[in-house]
């Protein structure tokens, strides 16, 4: 077999592999002029191969700022990755993720290869879901406040103790619904925030505030704290207080003792700070511990404890930490939140 034959076979394999790739893809020369496009790209854009070949690849992109970013990145010899809108032949704008990387032979850039992933439907779904969540929360708050007003009005006009107790229970349930709506908002903010905004946070100061607030909210409970004398600085954000509050409230609300006791302490070692919230309640069976954080599917028999612990679990993951529950000695549960310590400077 001759060297030319080897080249012909290699070219045939290249064409079959590249053009059969399922993701839309193009190959350009060093000037970003299209030299080849695979079948998925032709189907996606609506162009024929002769229409694309010879066209500048940047003409397919709608935003000039993105084009400038691509050119600057490739000029440095780096691979570009980012969000981009592609214009199809029939004038549609399709949103997605694109990547473009240099093709280098013997240290010389011979061209570029680019890929595109269509995420238009996914973005529309996310936007619609976010709007739906916002509208539902807004309507839920308004309607719940009307119900609370009616409950208060009726409670002022009845003397029957059993009926007043029923109204108090109804008030508590409506308050819980509003609490769920607020937690859903926090979850939406957390899940839609793709950027990193962690900064040094004085964990001991936040804990003191949250324990003080919990003690005022639950005057029948006893809180014991040990935060040490040194500042405890961790990598977190403003939502850390919401997570700490959720665990403190959980220690009281799910406690079956006449006097709930909650011990809160912080230990720092090996680049981590661990908050322990221990209670004297009924405890959490080992088989339930993943489920209460929403890590396992919830059903009619086995259920979690609402959205709050699910929020705590997701938040600690974004912090690069973790949360878990274990047995407390001699009774109850101990919830532990492990953070990465941070240099306050």
Provide the 10 A C-beta neighbour count for residue 162.
Answer: 8
Least confident of 47-51, 126-130, 173-177, 317-321: 126-130
Given a cut of 90, whether residue 231 has pLDDT beyond it is yes
Helix (H, G, I), strand (E, B) or coil at 65: helix
> What's the confidence (pLDDT) of residue 44?
84
Residue extents of the structural domains in the chain: 3-118, 123-192, 199-340
Two tokens, residue 276: 């322990």
| CB-count burial class (<10 Å; 0-12, 13-18, 19+) for 188 | middle
Interacting residues of 196 by C-beta distance below 8 A, sequence separation 6+: none
> What's the confidence (pLDDT) of residue 105?
86
pLDDT in tens, 12-58: 666 677 777 788 888 999 999 999 999 888 988 899 999 999 988 88
Two tokens, residue 201: 């946070």
Contact between 273 and 338 under an 8 Å Cβ cutoff? The reply is yes
For range 123-141, the mean pLDDT: 67
Mean pLDDT of the chain: 83
> What's the confidence (pLDDT) of residue 9?
47
CATH fold group of domain 199-340: Heat Shock Protein 90 (3.30.565)
E-strand stretches of 34-176: 34-37, 80-87, 93-105, 108-118
For range 213-221, the mean pLDDT: 94
Distance CA 209, CA 214 (A): 9
Choice between 84 and 208, residue whose per-residue pLDDT is larger:
208
pLDDT in tens, 141-183: 778 788 888 888 888 888 888 888 888 888 877 777 777 666 6
pLDDT in tens, 277-310: 999 999 999 988 888 888 765 544 344 455 788 8
CATH fold group of domain 3-118: Beta-Lactamase (3.30.450)
């Amino acid at each position: 077999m001759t060297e030319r034959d080897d080249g012909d076979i290699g070219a045939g394999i290249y064409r079959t592999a590249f053009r059969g790739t399922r993701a839309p893809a193009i190959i350009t020369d060093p000037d970003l002029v299209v030299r080849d496009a695979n079948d998925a790209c032709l189907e996606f854009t609506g162009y024929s191969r002769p229409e694309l070949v010879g066209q500048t690849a940047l003409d397919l992109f709608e935003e000039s700022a993105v084009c400038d970013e691509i050119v600057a990145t490739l000029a440095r010899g780096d691979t570009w990755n980012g969000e981009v809108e592609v214009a199809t032949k029939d004038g549609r704008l399709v949103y997605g993720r694109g990547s473009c990387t240099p093709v280098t032979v013997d240290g010389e850039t011979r061209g570029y290869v680019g890929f595109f992933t269509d995420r238009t439907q996914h973005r529309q779904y996310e936007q619609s879901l976010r709007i739906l969540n916002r509208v539902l929360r807004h309507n839920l708050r308004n309607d719940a406040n009307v119900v609370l007003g009616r409950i208060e009005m009726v409670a002022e006009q009845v003397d029957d103790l059993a009926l007043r107790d029923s109204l108090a229970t109804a008030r508590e349930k409506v308050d819980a619904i509003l609490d769920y709506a607020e937690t859903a908002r926090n979850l939406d903010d957390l899940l839609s925030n793709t950027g990193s905004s962690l900064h040094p946070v004085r964990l001991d100061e936040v804990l003191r505030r949250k324990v003080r607030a919990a003690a005022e909210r639950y005057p029948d409970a006893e809180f014991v704290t040990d935060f040490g004398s040194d500042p405890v600085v961790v990598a977190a954000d403003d939502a850390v207080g919401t997570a700490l509050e959720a665990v403190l409230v959980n220690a009281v609300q799910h406690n079956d003792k006449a006097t709930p006791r909650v011990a809160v302490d912080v230990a720092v070692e090996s680049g981590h700070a661990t908050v322990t919230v221990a209670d004297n309640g009924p405890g959490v069976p080992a088989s339930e511990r993943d489920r209460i954080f929403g890590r396992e599917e919830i059903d009619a028999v086995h259920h979690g404890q609402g959205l709050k612990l699910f929020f705590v679990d997701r938040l600690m993951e974004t912090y690069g930490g973790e949360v878990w529950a274990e047995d407390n000695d001699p009774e109850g549960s101990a919830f532990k939140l492990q953070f990465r310590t941070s240099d306050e400077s």
